[in-house]
């Protein structure tokens, strides 16, 4: 009568571990990204593969980006501040301190609207010291 009790005890200990044992082994093959975009890295967790790839320029207005890039090169402190805090484009105090930005947005309201809608398209945030 002791043998069935031992078998039940062993089964209770081993059964919860079976799914973890079944997940080990060769990870699934990485899915090929569409459009041949450059793969920056992959992460495999269980049966999920996450592929990090470079963003394309599809859907971006490259003329706006060029115009903003020229302004950003001439005013790197403003560009960096906006990269970290895009809401400054609507801050009257900030615009008063930086009339060149206010003038730029008066001349290019479409760029201001685009920054409000998708600020990440216009900012490359450099790493902070120690990052």
Q: Which pLDDT band, with edges at 50, 70 and 90, does 87 fall under?
A: very high
Residue 64 and residue 114 in contact, taking contact as beta carbons nearer than 8 Å = yes
Separation between Cα atoms, residue 131 and residue 71, nearest integer Å: 27
What pLDDT, on the 0 to 100 scale, is given for residue 62? 76
Residue 112 and residue 105 in contact, taking contact as beta carbons nearer than 8 Å = yes
What pLDDT, on the 0 to 100 scale, is given for residue 74? 94
What pLDDT, on the 0 to 100 scale, is given for residue 50? 86
Task: Residue 123: name the closest of 92, 78, 93 by CA.
Answer: 78
Mean pLDDT of 67-71: 91
Residue 58 predicted with pLDDT over 80: no
Burial class (CB in 10 A: 0-12, 13-18, 19+), 89: buried
Task: Residue 103: name the closest of 62, 61, 65, 75 by CA.
Answer: 75
* Tens-place pLDDT, residues 5-30: 544 555 555 555 545 444 444 444 44
DSSP string for residues in 75-93: -HHHHHHHHH-GGGGG-HH
Residue 83 predicted with pLDDT over 80: yes
The residues, any chain, with a CB within 8 Å of residue 104's CB and separated by 6 or more, are: 71, 111
Residue 71 predicted with pLDDT over 70: yes
Mean pLDDT of 82-101: 94
Range among 57-61, 102-106, 111-115 rated most confident = 102-106
């Amino acid at each position: 009568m002791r043998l069935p009790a031992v078998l039940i005890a062993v089964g209770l200990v081993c059964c919860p571990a079976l799914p973890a044992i079944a997940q080990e082994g060769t990870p699934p093959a990485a899915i090929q990204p569409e459009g041949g975009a450059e793969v920056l890295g992959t992460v495999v967790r269980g049966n999920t593969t996450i592929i990090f790839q470079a963003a394309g320029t599809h859907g971006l207005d490259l003329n706006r980006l060029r115009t903003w890039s020229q302004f950003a090169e001439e005013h790197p402190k403003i560009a960096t501040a906006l990269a970290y805090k895009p809401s400054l484009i609507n801050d009257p105090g900030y615009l008063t301190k930086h009339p060149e930005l206010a003038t730029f947005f008066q001349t290019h309201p479409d760029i201001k609207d685009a920054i409000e809608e998708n600020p990440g398209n216009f900012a490359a945030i450099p790493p902070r010291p120690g990052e």
